[in-house]
Structure 1
Amino acid sequence: MSQLETYLEKRDFDATPEPSAAGAPSRLGLRYSIQNHRATRLHWDLRLEWDGVLLSWAITRGPSFDTAEKRLAVRTEDHPLSYLGFEGQIPPGNYGAGTVMLWDIGWWQPLDPVARGLKKGHLHFRLHGRRMTGDWNLILMKGRKPGDAKRQNWLLIKSDDEAAGQRDPVRRYTRSVATGRTFDQIKKDDAPVRPQRDGRLPGHVAPQLATLTDDLADPDSHWHELKLDGYRALIALGKGGPVVFTRSGLDWSDRFAALLPSFDDLDCDSALIDGEIVAGAGLQGFSALQDAIKAGGPFGFVAFDLLSLNGDDLRDRKLTERRKALEKLMKPVPPMGALQLSPIVEGDPQDAFDTVCRAQGEGLIAKRRDARYRSGRGTDWLKIKCRRRAEFVIVGWQASSAAGRPFASLALAAREGGDLRYVGKVGTGFDEGAMDDLAARMRPLTRKTAPVEAPKSETRGVTWVTPQLVAEIDYAELTAQGRLRHAVFLDLREDKPADQVRIEREVPMSDGERIAGIAVSSTDRVIFPRPRLTKGDLARYYDRIAPAMLDEAADRPLSLLRLPEGMEGERFFQKHPGKGFPDALKTVEITEKDGEAEPYAYVTDAAGIVGAVQMGTVEFHIWGARRDRVERPDRLVFDLDPDEGLKFAEVKSAATDLRDRLADLGLACWPLLTGGKGIHLVIPLRRTIGWDTAKLFCRGVATLMAQHQPKRLTAQMSKARRTDRIFIDWLRNERGSTAIAPFSVRARPGAPVAMPVAWDELSGIRSASAFGTDAAHERGWQGVVRPELQTITQGVSEALERAFDEIS
């Protein structure tokens, strides 16, 4: 007996518009719908795709998000899959005569085996509809067995989850989810009622990008969000929208057409929403998203920023303000639906990061709470990865000896500077469909010459292709020779042009020029365009300046700011040196707050500094203690950080005032131009106090200065308190904090140097970035008087207390 025999017997298809065709199964996932049926009695028909048909129940009072409600759901005949989106008027005299409204549509996800659930009389499932979301139960009432031919009464009950407790959907939704029509409009066969937005449709904006780092951010200044595994997308709402823009500005609205109706629920005239498109309906991972694109869905969108709303540009507002506006915009969206807000990890993010990594997730994104939205890559957003994943360009394939297998492996390259660098092959991760698709795509790109320099011993037999295809690759590490280890193919990336693919970490190549005894590769790669400084120039500068730099930087734990591709590429901070660093860059084990020991880099000679440059380091940041006694600081630093718009003359004046105040307390200091906007005042210390004492004292001095000159100075980091003021940053004086090393080049336009100067010349200096590498090498410590070692004595502390008494 056909599963649809009852359905077909009850209907005269010459008289009813209902479909008679069986319909095609979904290509990916299981479809679901609810039809609101105004027949003899108003009811809601639940349809769940399974085994080639739609399992059907008539819910007499409609679904409820109240977990205490048990709604009667009468099992009816199975319907054809073609009935999924049916809407229309069934004429009088026909079975089910009345008006049918498509009330909800989407996907459903069984949470327990369906066959077993039908047999036992308990289906547990999750709905991914436009209106109905979350977990549900269908439970067969006592008195009927699942196999009985007679009427089966089930109960539809909402599970207690994030979607529970919403407004009554029966009262809330009275129009078709597909056409926007009421029952009367459907009965009269009126045209669909489409939601209209009158606001001007926003154009593409280059998105803000995160800088790779190896450590979680300070939760006081940042919050953390999940790093997602999908396509970055900007959703433009307005007249003529919605439009889906990729990161590079391509219009991919057609590829994600199934997702676009979900944005109809957002109440606005126009908006530009930043987020990530992911696989929907419970599917996970980038490969699942690729499958969803081929199948036309399901999709999900995770929103994490709002760039404009109703014509107002929000990019200059703080992240916290933009998030508040985004939350308000997203409020009508049902929880656990296709549109979601990116969840925020408040407080210590370590547990969340560990959980994500154990679950084979991507990692976390840290975002500075008070930062504005800025296109391009910067350090206001940081990404902390659980594992290595990156895009590489396909440059060829190796033939396979296995029958029916179009290739054995793919040859890959990564752009480093302006050149492609061969990084090895990937031979796993392909299924049959992926291999056939790749072979078809590569065939017309075949070329006779190699597009990349590669050893013949590694590429013998490779068929070369023009580098146009971009592959997402999971790998263990990059070897010292710059080859991928344990590479696994994930999928193609079509949202990123091949010429924009950049490797995230520098690949050490063959021996190059030897500087300070270190083989420096790619010495002609341009790091700074103006003035033009190559990687070789930078290494030679650090070799020459090393004697002066080591006076302060030697034997201190370091944090390194690396820019492997120069100013135009990615940048990331690194506390713990990884594999591939030259041995000249030494390491010391330091116990962290959690009690675990981690390796920190330090240098003792020019080779160590140049070894860091070989790995892409531009900036060197130093601890306030030496590696042999990390609990005893030997320098204090006050960082004078001016608000935007303040002139450097005001910073110099503040530095002189702070110097005089410290002198009154019995301490001498010397000034360091940071190479940015501010000045550091450095106090050399004998190693007689701990970090708590140092931090408390520095906070006291900063607070004293701020109370004495509240209109000019502040001791609070809050952006609101820093308006038109200079922030005296005393937080650098705690364990693990760093400050820029004297003579370090800064990763800023113009390649300025953090430069020690004499007090008597400070008044004639025009900016904190006044010195470049040539001037720094010529000057060194010349003319700079560094005081003898001091300490915070009882007398110094008492003098600070008296100063507070005088102000009060």
Structure 2
Amino acid sequence: MRETVELTVGDRSVRLSNPNKVYFPERGFTKLDLARYYMAVGDGILRALRDRPTTMERYPDGVEGESFFQKRAPKNLPDWIPTGRIAFPSGRYADEICPTEQAAVVWAANLGCLTFHPWPVRREDTEHPDELRIDLDPQPGTDYGDALRAAEELRDVLDGLGLRGWPKTSGGRGLHVFVPIEPAWTFTQVRRSAIAVARELERRAPERITTSWWKEERGEKIFVDYNQTARDRTVASAYSVRPKPQATVSAPLLWEELPDSRPEDFDLASMPVRYAEVGDVHADMDDHAFRLDAALELANRDEREHGLGDLPYPPEHPKMKGEPKRVQPSRAKH
């Protein structure tokens, strides 16, 4: 028989199969290390996932093996893990896991889930996002330092719109900033707000920041990926382990910590140490819910005064009203 261990997580006992299977060969981290990591940051990862339909990014044989995104809850889902039904742009739907306790995270880790991708909605209302997510994505020729400078600009833009963001590393070269909002707007309206914020950033630093969807037009700049707010697009959660050789994690940060931060500072080994010292620095996010009125008014002003309407959606998304042609600029000229 294969080796198994039983982990006590809260009031649950979670079975871990093949606990010594190596998931990160370069560092020697095993499945058991992964499970214990998620137990160490349990309150934080649960805060990021609680009641959110969540896609699991699974690596059953570790980071050097094959991987897949699992949207639909598996058939062997324990009855104590609820699901939430979400609708895709295609009109199809899926029932995704919605963690409500730490044991659900460890249960998913046993399936080889490294990264959790929660929707920006709660299971009781899957049509109205309660987070505005800004993704600062470094393009070739730029790095994390450039993302940091863009984040400082973003903080000022958000402040001017009566919004407050909570920053975190992506676990790669980029940065994410999440803004908790009232669940009063549709995905389309939240995306429109993200575009307005992105355009304001671009106006302030056009030599460093871009909203160009087409890679050939971005140059060596930070791309504000507004389409991460489109329906069916998700962002790695805070505390998620990323499929990198060094086992980096998406690390929540305070704004004052940003200038001295580096993505490689936060990994499966170092984050539990930090967490034991400072706890979840984003613990107060759920105490806030901002309104998007000012951001949407900025979007209206951009359209009214500058003729700036919608921007292209991801290629797999249905064509939307008012959306420009999805044609690569270099091809559109011929």
TM-score for both structures, normalised by structure 1: 0.35
SS in 2 for 1:791: coil
Q: Which amino acid aligns with 2:184?
A: T
Residue 710 of structure 1: aligned partner? 206
Does residue 681 of the first structure (1) align with residue 177 of the second (2)?
yes
Q: CA offset at residue 680 of structure 1?
A: 0.4
Residue 565 of structure 1: aligned partner? 61
Residue 291 of structure 2: aligned partner? 791
- Cα 1:566–1:584 shift into 2, 3 Å: farther
Supply the distance in 1 between the matched residues of 2:251 and 2:204 (Cα, whole angstroms): 29
C-alpha contact 1:620 1:741 (8 A) present in aligned 2:
yes
Does residue 512 of the first structure (1) align with residue 5 of the second (2)?
yes
Q: CA offset at residue 692 of structure 1?
A: 1.3
Residue 34 of structure 2: aligned partner? 538
After the TM superposition, which residues 757-796 of structure 1 pair with which residues of structure 2 at under 5 Å, given as runs?
757-765=253-261, 767-780=262-275, 781-784=279-282, 786=285, 788-793=288-293, 795-796=294-295
Q: Give me the identity figure in percent.
A: 32
Supply the distance in 2 between the matched residues of 1:776 and 1:531 (Cα, whole angstroms): 15
1:590-619 per-position Cα deviation (integer Å, ceiling 9, x unaligned): 344454442212211111111111111111
C-alpha contact 1:665 1:800 (8 A) present in aligned 2:
no
SS in 2 for 1:551: helix
Supply the distance in 1 between the matched residues of 2:198 and 2:271 (Cα, whole angstroms): 30
Does residue 660 of the first structure (1) align with residue 162 of the second (2)?
no
Residue 481 of structure 1: aligned partner? none
Supply the distance in 2 between the matched residues of 1:532 and 1:705 (Cα, whole angstroms): 41
Q: CA offset at residue 644 of structure 1?
A: 2.4
In terms of fraction of residues, the more helix-rich structure is 2
C-alpha contact 2:82 2:99 (8 A) present in aligned 1:
yes
1:748-773 per-position Cα deviation (integer Å, ceiling 9, x unaligned): 111011011011111111x2332113
Supply the distance in 2 between the matched residues of 1:595 and 1:646 (Cα, whole angstroms): 38
Which range is displaced more, 510-519 or 659-668?
510-519
Residue 325 of structure 2: aligned partner? none
1:374-425 per-position Cα deviation (integer Å, ceiling 9, x unaligned): xxxxxxxxxxxxxxxxxxxxxxxxxxxxxxxxxxxxxxxxxxxxxxxxxxxx
Higher relative contact order (CA 8 A, sep 6+): 2
Supply the distance in 2 between the matched residues of 1:583 and 1:618 (Cα, whole angstroms): 22
Does residue 623 of the first structure (1) align with residue 123 of the second (2)?
no
Q: CA offset at residue 798 of structure 1?
A: 3.1
Q: Which has the larger radius of gyration?
A: 1
Supply the distance in 1 between the matched residues of 2:162 and 2:174 (Cα, whole angstroms): 24
SS in 1 for 2:206: coil
C-alpha contact 1:585 1:612 (8 A) present in aligned 2:
no
Q: Which amino acid aligns with 2:297?
A: E
Supply the distance in 2 between the matched residues of 1:667 and 1:519 (Cα, whole angstroms): 42
Does residue 755 of the first structure (1) align with residue 251 of the second (2)?
yes
C-alpha contact 2:241 2:250 (8 A) present in aligned 1:
yes
SS in 1 for 2:265: coil
Supply the distance in 2 between the matched residues of 1:592 and 1:782 (Cα, whole angstroms): 32
Give every structure 1 segment of 4 or more consecutive aligned residues whose post-TM-superposition deviation is greater than 6 Å: none
> Gapped runs of 5+ residues in structure 2?
309-334
Residue 608 of structure 1: aligned partner? 104
Q: CA offset at residue 649 of structure 1?
A: 1.6
Q: CA offset at residue 774 of structure 1?
A: 3.6
Supply the distance in 2 between the matched residues of 1:525 and 1:762 (Cα, whole angstroms): 35
1:718-768 per-position Cα deviation (integer Å, ceiling 9, x unaligned): 221222111101112122221111011111111011011011111111x23
Q: CA offset at residue 546 of structure 1?
A: 1.6
Supply the distance in 1 between the matched residues of 2:76 and 2:281 (Cα, whole angstroms): 39
Candidates 23, 30, 45, aligned match of 1:527: 23
- Cα 1:761–1:597 shift into 2, 3 Å: closer
Residue 144 of structure 1: aligned partner? none
Does residue 743 of the first structure (1) align with residue 239 of the second (2)?
yes
Q: CA offset at residue 687 of structure 1?
A: 1.3
Q: Which amino acid aligns with 2:101?
A: D
After the TM superposition, which residues 412-491 of structure 1 pair with which residues of structure 2 at under 5 Å, given as runs?
none
TM-score for both structures, normalised by structure 2: 0.82
Supply the distance in 2 between the matched residues of 1:706 and 1:687 (Cα, whole angstroms): 27
Q: Which amino acid aligns with 1:512?
A: V
Q: CA offset at residue 674 of structure 1?
A: 0.8
C-alpha contact 1:585 1:611 (8 A) present in aligned 2:
no
C-alpha contact 1:638 1:732 (8 A) present in aligned 2:
yes
Q: CA offset at residue 651 of structure 1?
A: 1.0
C-alpha contact 2:46 2:101 (8 A) present in aligned 1:
yes
C-alpha contact 2:85 2:123 (8 A) present in aligned 1:
no
Q: Which amino acid aligns with 2:270?
A: A
Supply the distance in 2 between the matched residues of 1:655 and 1:688 (Cα, whole angstroms): 26
SS in 1 for 2:158: helix
Supply the distance in 2 between the matched residues of 1:713 and 1:638 (Cα, whole angstroms): 13
Q: CA offset at residue 544 of structure 1?
A: 2.2
C-alpha contact 1:584 1:607 (8 A) present in aligned 2:
no
